[in-house]
Structure 1
Amino acid sequence: MRSDLRSLTAILALAAVYFCAGKLGLSLAYVHASASAVWPPSGLALAALLLWGYRLWPGIFLGAFLVNITTPGSVATTLGIATGNTLEALLGAWAINRFANGAKAFERARNIFKFVVLAPILSTMVSATIGVTSLTWGGFAQWDQYLRIWFTWWLGDAVGDLIVAPLVLIWMAQPSPQLKANRVVEAAGLLLFLILITYLMFVLDAPFSSEYMMVLPLFWAAFRFGQRGAVTSAFVMSGIALVGTLNGVGPFAHANPNESLLHLQSFMGTIAIAALVLASVISEGRRAEWRLEVQDAVSRILAESPSLKEAVSKVVQVLCERAGWDLGAIWNIDRARDELRHVEVWHMPSVHAPQFVAVTREGRFSRGTGLPGRVWSTGKPVWIPDVTTDGNFKRAPAASEDGLHSGFGFPIKLENKILGVIECYTREVREPDDNFLQMVSDIGGELGQFMERKRAEELLLHSEERLRGMVETAVDGIITIDERGTISTVNPAAERIFGYPTAEMVGENVRMLMPEPYRRDHDSYIGNYLRTGQRKIIGIGREVEGRRKDGTAFPLDLAVSETHVGDRRMFTGIVRDIT
């Protein structure tokens, strides 16, 4: 019931806004009472469907009907026009959702071109065709004026899609900007410069051709304030230019007011496209540069960190510092209890959040519960714009107490296996950023590989330690040499058997442990084996004589094995004193 009431309220609100914008547009209708070169409702309708869904289409139909029923025509022509306007918005929204990433179409330049083709160029033809055809069939327009009325109708809708829709979508769908004093001052300077340029051209009627000077503030806005600055500047310019042109001032003013508006709207539509594409390319470049910086910092951390805990803690710190988040936490999976267990919390030095930190350290989460549990359950990054209003966030009271709002989490993954979860929070309310979530998802994959590598290294280290313990405690002497006969390692038993300390044996030729004639001929034994592969003792074992440090000879049981370490051959001899 409450949902139905909200939908009805939204539909009526859209109808009211559409009606007001439509009356404004029709006040500038010169070629026909129902066709205007300035038609903001098309952009408003398209943005509404992209942001809040197709369920709002009755608001477009109702608003369009009320606008046109008050102009010359019949109920039938009004229904036709309202149907065309509604179909235009529905088809445009469907095409953009299907092919251009929906409400986030302006994040990438290639999607902007798709947006321009699908909505301003193609979908607006539906409304213009149905509307003008309804008027001519109803006898309220002449067939010989069909193309002129159609072009005016189409261009008005197209420019509405190009200027109004991006303005609404970018301000509503993208994360809110952080207000800083220097940015506010620069924005004020940009606005002043923009107004001066537009005022010079469209109010003072500059005596020289200066319309392309409008590009300067648009470039400034795009470079410094991104898409939000570009579309806002284009909208402000369009408003001032419209007022000047209607008063017969500016480079597009002609004797025929409709011709003036057509020229102005064509110019403003072109400028709006250029500003959107430029801002998108700049934003993509900055995002790519920032992602590379973060990923480079993470890669250095993973390369330099000696332990898993230290690496993950530093990654959380980098994410918070570089991306502007205030607090981060790490969660590990307790396989025995099948729940997430807190590992560590890190926060910016300037952030004081004792309540939230305390409940985080005490918290445990099952699958699907809270932000970490949802990440664990889905295996994907999760973003909550405001955790204090989220029904599935148990720490909401503590977050509210400490002033934390937006949060995101992402899994530490190895292929499809979840190894842990990292979450971060900020005092601001931020809308989801898909590009950022993709980046942290990649970082989660890197961390998963790092964890697996560290675990493998630890297993290898433990294995080496066990092997070393076995070698060092063995009763028999164990000696390893390379293919030149140089001693690499000896164990304590070999020290006792031969009477040499390890330092005097390692690096020397193994023949030092042999009496004559073995001492003289040993190198030839190895050389012959390396040339022919013929084994005389390797892998067989036999009784030989050894030589102690004091020069005495004694009988030994000797077994020799061969192994390869990379491209090197190593030989291991196990000796037992059989005196």
Structure 2
Amino acid sequence: MVRSVKIRGPAAAVLRVLAVAAAYWAGGRIGLLQQVVVEGAVVTPLWPPTGIALACLLWMGARVWPGIALGALLTIATIDTVGPATLGILAGNTLAPLAAYLMLRRVGFHPGLDRLRDGLALVFLGALGGMLVSATFGACTLVLSGSLPLGEFWPVWSAWWAGDAMGVLVITPLLLVLRRAHLPRDIRAWWWTEAAALALVSVAVTLLATRVSVSLLFLVFPMLIWAALRFQLAGSVPCAVLISVLAISAATEGTGPFTDRSMLEVMVVLQALNGCAALTGLLLASIVTEQIAVRRRIEDACAALAEVVEQLAPGDAAHLWTPLDDGQRAGDRGRPGRQGPGRPDRAPG
């Protein structure tokens, strides 16, 4: 007989902290692959550790904040020598996701992102609001330590804030979706076919939009709309990640619409694209998911009502409620005498 052993107590807490630190450090290493220098400061167009940290807090609670601090310290150590100025940057990188988590918990955020209000909360509180902390701490620390002239504060602050916010907008939804991902029960061949077509078309269109000299960045948005309407978060979030990765690659190489621009201009164009792509995919998918959930609740309520009527008047309930599929609803639109889905053309009896 094999007995499973569960780790509890302090050992489990230590393992959680170490796992968060390792994930943060790994995300930092990935983010540094696309680092750029703005006014002498090293920043990234998309900083994955902020998204990883917020996702870990949403899953395990505020008790894992030491893991975020440890991961941030290890990441900073790979960039520069650890010194007194490191404490300010470390404090900002730790407090920013923690502040975002506390604000999201305050407004009743659902990690499933199944409501529009959840998408809006993640955007405005988690990304745009919470990441003000890390950008402010980081830029102020560089100025106070003499590493950054005061006149260059705002460009560095803006690039820092945008990179951290993009990490939350792109990486946090991806991790939340992956944790709840599952294949549909009645999956069919056409589902795989459409998913593969979406992936291939998204890659082709994004490469076209980010590699040609003509400004065609707007071409990526129909792909996001397609993904959100057909696959909800499971489609729109990976699609937004794909677009962001390919756009960042083109920006760092200085190709396509990013040619002959200053680094600050490149960051502005890139963050505008990444931000709009993430917002479009996340919010539209949340709206569609919420509408589907509302429709299902209405159908369940109607089915329960029909069951009650069946018990009160056996034989008559079948005329009152018969759930229709989407094809039947489409066929009944415009039919004379049709009062609504599941209702008879005339009153029974």
Q: TM-score per shorter chain, which class?
A: 0.7 to 0.9
C-alpha displacement of 1:7? 2.3
Inter-CA distance 34–281: structure 2 relative to 1 (3 Å threshold): same
Inter-CA distance 102–297: structure 2 relative to 1 (3 Å threshold): closer
- The residue that corresponds to 1:90 in the other structure is 98
- The residue that corresponds to 1:299 in the other structure is 305
Partner-residue secondary structure (3-state), 1:305: helix
For each residue in 1:350-393, what CA deviation from the matched residue of structure 2 results, as whole angstroms up to 9, or x when unmatched?
xxxxxxxxxxxxxxxxxxxxxxxxxxxxxxxxxxxxxxxxxxxx
In the alignment, the residues of structure 1 paired with residue 258 and residue 288 of structure 2 have an alpha-carbon distance, to the nearest angstrom, of 30
Contact 1:254 1:260 in 2 (8 A): no
Percent identity (aligned): 33
- The residue that corresponds to 1:169 in the other structure is 176
Taking the TM superposition and a 5 Å limit, the aligned residue runs for 1:462-481 are: none
Taking the TM superposition and a 5 Å limit, the aligned residue runs for 1:135-146 are: 135-146=142-153
C-alpha displacement of 1:164? 0.7
C-alpha displacement of 1:19? 1.4
Taking the TM superposition and a 5 Å limit, the aligned residue runs for 1:6-155 are: 6-27=12-33, 28-31=35-38, 32-72=40-80, 74-104=82-112, 106-155=113-162
C-alpha displacement of 1:151? 0.6
- The residue that corresponds to 1:160 in the other structure is 167
Inter-CA distance 151–23: structure 2 relative to 1 (3 Å threshold): same
Contact 2:206 2:247 in 1 (8 A): yes
In the alignment, the residues of structure 1 paired with residue 24 and residue 181 of structure 2 have an alpha-carbon distance, to the nearest angstrom, of 26
Amino acid at match of 2:295: E
Structure with the bigger percentage of helix:
2
In the alignment, the residues of structure 2 paired with residue 208 and residue 248 of structure 1 have an alpha-carbon distance, to the nearest angstrom, of 14
In the alignment, the residues of structure 2 paired with residue 248 and residue 163 of structure 1 have an alpha-carbon distance, to the nearest angstrom, of 22
In the alignment, the residues of structure 2 paired with residue 291 and residue 2 of structure 1 have an alpha-carbon distance, to the nearest angstrom, of 39
C-alpha displacement of 1:96? 0.4
In the alignment, the residues of structure 2 paired with residue 48 and residue 253 of structure 1 have an alpha-carbon distance, to the nearest angstrom, of 37
Inter-CA distance 142–24: structure 2 relative to 1 (3 Å threshold): farther
- The residue that corresponds to 1:278 in the other structure is 284
TM-score normalised by length of structure 1 = 0.50
Partner-residue secondary structure (3-state), 1:2: coil
Alignment: residue pair count = 310
Taking the TM superposition and a 5 Å limit, the aligned residue runs for 1:405-484 are: none
- The residue that corresponds to 1:413 in the other structure is none
C-alpha displacement of 1:114? 2.4
Contact 1:155 1:262 in 2 (8 A): no
Pick aligned residue for 1:222 from 228, 235, 240:
228
For each residue in 1:196-247, what CA deviation from the matched residue of structure 2 results, as whole angstroms up to 9, or x when unmatched?
10111223x1x54321110111111101101121111000111111112222
- The residue that corresponds to 1:200 in the other structure is 208
For each residue in 1:77-104, what CA deviation from the matched residue of structure 2 results, as whole angstroms up to 9, or x when unmatched?
1122111111001110010011142423
C-alpha displacement of 1:73? 5.1
Contact 1:201 1:210 in 2 (8 A): yes
C-alpha displacement of 1:253? 4.0
Contact 2:122 2:169 in 1 (8 A): no
Contact 1:69 1:75 in 2 (8 A): no
Alignment gaps of 5+ in structure 1: 323-579
In the alignment, the residues of structure 2 paired with residue 253 and residue 16 of structure 1 have an alpha-carbon distance, to the nearest angstrom, of 36
- The residue that corresponds to 2:273 in the other structure is 267
The alignment yields a C-alpha RMSD, in angstroms, of 2.5
Taking the TM superposition and a 5 Å limit, the aligned residue runs for 1:352-391 are: none
Amino acid at match of 2:89: I
In the alignment, the residues of structure 1 paired with residue 42 and residue 151 of structure 2 have an alpha-carbon distance, to the nearest angstrom, of 16
Q: Which has the higher contact order (CA 8 A, sep 6+)?
A: 2
Partner-residue secondary structure (3-state), 1:107: coil
